[in-house]
Amino acid sequence: MSQPLDLAALQASPAPASFKDAWQARLERWYAHPGLYRWSLRNPLTRWLTRRRTRQLFDLMAGFVHSQVLLGCVRLDLFRALHQAPANLDELARRTGLAPAVLQRLLLSAVALGLLEHRSHARYGLGPLGVPLAQHEGIAQMIEHNHLLYQDMQDPLQFLNNAWTGGMAEYWPYAHDKTPVHLPASEVDKFTRYSQLMAASQGFVVQEILSSYFFDEHRCVLDVGAGKGRFVSELAAHAPHLQFKMFDLPPVLALAREGLQAKGLTDRVALHPGSFLDDPLPEGADLITLVRVAHDHPDAVVRQILQKAHAALPVGGVLLLAEPMAQPEEEAGQAGASVDAYFHFYLLAMGAGRLRTPQELQTMMQEAGFTHVEQVPNAMPIHARILVGRKSQCLP
């Protein structure tokens, strides 16, 4: 691969290497024993484990089908329609224009996956996993957007050898090139498209931040990579004492202006168009936020952003960094690790960024001069984990 990609730091294991290696090799030999599968199914104490492993492997194999069922339901707008009222097969066939016999395969698959469920009188209604899809437009938009990623990944080895030639790389203009000052119309369209998607999908991340961090001590917040300003708008309603600055590329802030006006926020929000690759960050804020920004960029750029944030803050100021992060070693075995696989590939297809562990980002923040760096516990780390660090003194 010719692309300049960073390597992830190896996570340190608490157990001595020789002991851990020997234990893992013994387990592997045991799992590979030809009689183990039949023996463990006969034994009531181990049957559940073998069933669970088999099921997990089957789900991995079937994952593509699952996501296509999801996309099919989104494209037919089934979640919103069934949220309004359950419907039977014939009604749904009429509405979607699909033949009942094929539509039924989709509906039964969606029931099997918990997206839909059977209701009385042979009707279909929303299942537990379908409810959020009917309520949050941003999820449906991400599912549609993922189609681009899955097209790029159709042949995984070709993708790994040439990850930046697909639709995803094209979708994210800033992840590869320096942004030119004067953009052709086609490029402006790209900024509009991704900024809209980001605004639609940011809701869950914003909720995590607002419900986990207290903003009382702050006076002015600078949101770097602010997009169309959804975080700033929601924080403005949450903490009416705050003033704001937004920093993003000029075409993105041009899109943000109208929305801020409509929300009556122009007096509280100052726009600072620029690029953190070339420009310093504006001073005057005592809290700088970086929401879903670092993971888009290679280590050298992240270090640059963190140093600029440190330089722009007053002594006592705080940096808050929130984004999906890799599951740390101490959480190994807990649910959620498979989310990492998605982000590793998403960020590879997008450009030169990567999914980092909280520990890696904490170290980068400390290297940029921040002290008291810690993780703020939050309820849904799958949406984002949150780190904060303080500027306690100016760097020499």
Q: How far is the CB of 234 from ligand SAM (least distance, A)?
A: 11
Q: Which of 280, 255, 151 is nearest to 194 (CA)?
A: 255
Q: How far is the CB of 77 from ligand SAM (least distance, A)?
A: 24
Q: From residue 187 to residue 226, what is the string marking binding to ligand SAM with x (rule CB under 6 A)?
A: --------x--x---x--x-------------------xx
Ranges within 239-278 binding ligand SAM (CB under 6 A)? 248-249, 252, 275-277
Q: How far is the CB of 323 from ligand SAM (least distance, A)?
A: 8
Check binding of 291 to ligand SAM (CB under 6 A). Answer: yes
Tell me the site size for ligand SAM, rule CB under 6 A: 18
d(CA 308, CA 224): 11
Q: Which stretch binds ligand SAM (CB under 6 A): 36-44, 111-119, 290-298, 388-396?
A: 290-298
Check binding of 227 to ligand SAM (CB under 6 A). Answer: yes
Chain centroid offset of residue 152 CA: 18
Between CA 245 and CA 211, with CA 201 as vertex, the angle to 5 degrees is 65
Asked if 244 and 236 count as a contact pair (C-beta separation under 8 A), the reply is: yes
Task: Tell me the residue number closest to ligand SAM, measured at CB.
Answer: 225
**Region class of 308: left (phi > 0), else alpha (psi between -120 and 50), else beta:** alpha
Q: How far is the CB of 236 from ligand SAM (least distance, A)?
A: 15
Check binding of 174 to ligand SAM (CB under 6 A). Answer: yes
Q: Is 371 helix (H, G, I), strand (E, B) or coil?
A: strand
d(CA 206, CA 385): 11
Q: Which is nearer to ligand SAM, 186 or 334 (CB)?
A: 186
Q: Which is nearer to ligand SAM, 113 or 277 (CB)?
A: 277
Contact pick of 208, 296, 299, 360 for ligand SAM (by CB under 6 A): 296
Going edge to edge, which strands form the sheet with 269-273?
269-273, 243-248, 220-224, 287-291, 318-323, 385-390, 371-376
Residue 53 neighbours by CB distance under 10 Å:
13
Q: How far is the CB of 245 from ligand SAM (least distance, A)?
A: 13
Distances (CA, A) of 34 to 38, 112, 359, 369: 8, 32, 40, 55
Q: How far is the CB of 297 from ligand SAM (least distance, A)?
A: 7
Asked if 358 and 385 count as a contact pair (C-beta separation under 8 A), the reply is: yes
| Residue 165 in tokens | 């030639």
Asked if 80 and 134 count as a contact pair (C-beta separation under 8 A), the reply is: yes
Q: How far is the CB of 233 from ligand SAM (least distance, A)?
A: 12
Q: How far is the CB of 235 from ligand SAM (least distance, A)?
A: 12
Q: Which is nearer to ligand SAM, 115 or 205 (CB)?
A: 205
Residues lying near ligand SAM in the complex (CB under 6 A): 174, 195, 198, 202, 205, 225-227, 248-249, 252, 275-277, 291-293, 296
